[in-house]
Structure 1
């Protein structure tokens, strides 16, 4: 789905605050981590609680805006406190933060372990920048990690570098290609992500703290969801899992399973966790 079409869906085809029947709209960004978590949430809402779930793929800004204006019901994709800090500041009075659904995430610049550099400072070396064609391979413009990387380029004096805008999938493809050929590359990275399970990578040290420390992924809901859809709200409030859980779903998708099948397979194999998410729901 194109971003324009997805934004139009969020803005114009929603039930807003007056959700009808047992239906929920989940907004998400097309990052491997959020594809995994949103599909798992969708599967449980539909198979265990009888909801009809519509997934709305958008960029980070429209995702937050959709929750804030009530045109989407919830998301399980808010990276806090750092990556989405600007969106939280803008929309915090218009959304409800249900807390962390996954702890222990990290963002930064990542390189293959075979590269002989260890810090973002090393990117300033002439031989290193030349080997990288003065490029940092990024993802979608507007993503929190892209804004952090723009700051890193400024703070570390990397003015000769171009931050290449692409997508999560395109970035991973470029990384895989370079890794297979043992070529140098630097990408905007985050964990959990299947690429860390599939390749030996390392984060470049960030002595200036541009990317912050460990983060959490939070669940956010629109105002009024608790009253309109109390069962969906309770599930979303109780939804939490681990980076290892998420990695299993991401790797299954990367190896060829559809996101729907990977989510179902994981949920069916982890009934204890699913039951904890729906505990107390009649």
Structure 2
């Protein structure tokens, strides 16, 4: 998972003053620049376009996304990671301006990871890191600024004796490039790891125990949820039915993310390829869903995806 840190001012600039008024014909989505959410938003876009809707996705910081939903400028967000994003969502729980309508993924996780050779050398938990500070260069490798809160909190509180460490912030790809270099040399590196993600296939990695207070139990176990602006599913019940049925699996997302990261496909290309590899998923996603014009949804999307 990765995120762009975008200030509220920049977010307003990105959104612009003239976003279209909410309507069912155009579905306005956002994702924070994380590959998994780029993929799932891409899947939603393909389904919606196959049904005759217009779909638009903007890359925005999480807080900006929530502000835009509260203001009625965005309709749909497929990427609320719970509990990893609970801090970001907490200010918006009051007032019911944002609705959580569906759990679209279970089995996700998010915490510190190391190459297996480091794990086998004795670094199996957060408490083992400080004793090997020199080998690690006293550095954590994270993703975009604004997405490494747990790392920063560990340093600020000197948890596990790691107060003297620093966080190297870059991007998902920048972090993975550093891991790739380290692994090629069998250097020691500790970084943010998560599933679903192709890193779990590309690298032989292990997740560290003991970070429950920062990432949650069971290696930062998480579920991912679909959220909308308040009242959206009542205004647009056909879309509401679709997104209530739209769910994914960790292996499926890891596969589709590989199309983006390794093969250079854009999210909708990757989504279309994923749908063609798993056409049976359409049956559940589109059960009882119609096209914008009122026709049967499943055959329309199958035709759009080239499955007919």
Q: TM-score, normalised by structure 2?
A: 0.83
Deviation per residue, 1:193-233 (Å, 9 max, x gap): 11111110111112553210321010000112123332222
Q: In structure 1, how many angstroms separate the alpha carbons of the residues matched to 2:103 and 2:250?
A: 12
**Counterpart for residue 42 of structure 2:** 39
**In 1, are the aligned partners of 2:5 and 2:144 still within 8 Å (CA)?**
no
Deviation at 1:264, TM superposition (A): 0.2
**In 2, are the aligned partners of 1:67 and 1:220 still within 8 Å (CA)?**
no
Q: Which runs of 5+ in 2 are unaligned?
A: 291-308
Does structure 1 residue 142 correspond to structure 2 residue 146?
Answer: yes
**Counterpart for residue 134 of structure 2:** 130
Aligned-residue CA RMSD (Å): 2.0
**CA 1:110–1:20 in structure 2 vs 1: closer, same or farther (change >3 Å)?**
same
Does structure 1 residue 245 correspond to structure 2 residue 252?
Answer: yes
Deviation per residue, 1:216-274 (Å, 9 max, x gap): 01000011212333222221111101101101101122221413221101112222212
Q: In structure 1, how many angstroms separate the alpha carbons of the residues matched to 2:212 and 2:24?
A: 50
Q: In structure 2, how many angstroms separate the alpha carbons of the residues matched to 1:257 and 1:168?
A: 14
**In 1, are the aligned partners of 2:115 and 2:206 still within 8 Å (CA)?**
yes
**Counterpart for residue 120 of structure 1:** 126
Aligned residue pair count = 274
Moved over 4 A (4+): 1-7
**In 2, are the aligned partners of 1:28 and 1:76 still within 8 Å (CA)?**
yes
Larger radius of gyration: 2
**In 2, are the aligned partners of 1:10 and 1:72 still within 8 Å (CA)?**
no
- Aligned-partner SS, 1:139: coil
Does structure 1 residue 22 correspond to structure 2 residue 30?
Answer: no
Does structure 1 residue 218 correspond to structure 2 residue 219?
Answer: no
Q: In structure 2, how many angstroms separate the alpha carbons of the residues matched to 1:188 and 1:68?
A: 30
**In 2, are the aligned partners of 1:22 and 1:52 still within 8 Å (CA)?**
yes
**CA 1:169–1:70 in structure 2 vs 1: closer, same or farther (change >3 Å)?**
farther
**In 1, are the aligned partners of 2:5 and 2:146 still within 8 Å (CA)?**
no
- Aligned-partner SS, 2:117: coil
**CA 1:63–1:172 in structure 2 vs 1: closer, same or farther (change >3 Å)?**
farther
**Counterpart for residue 69 of structure 2:** 67
2:204 to 195, 200, 204: 200
- Aligned-partner SS, 1:185: coil
Q: TM-score, normalised by structure 1?
A: 0.90
Q: Which runs of 5+ in 1 are unaligned?
A: none
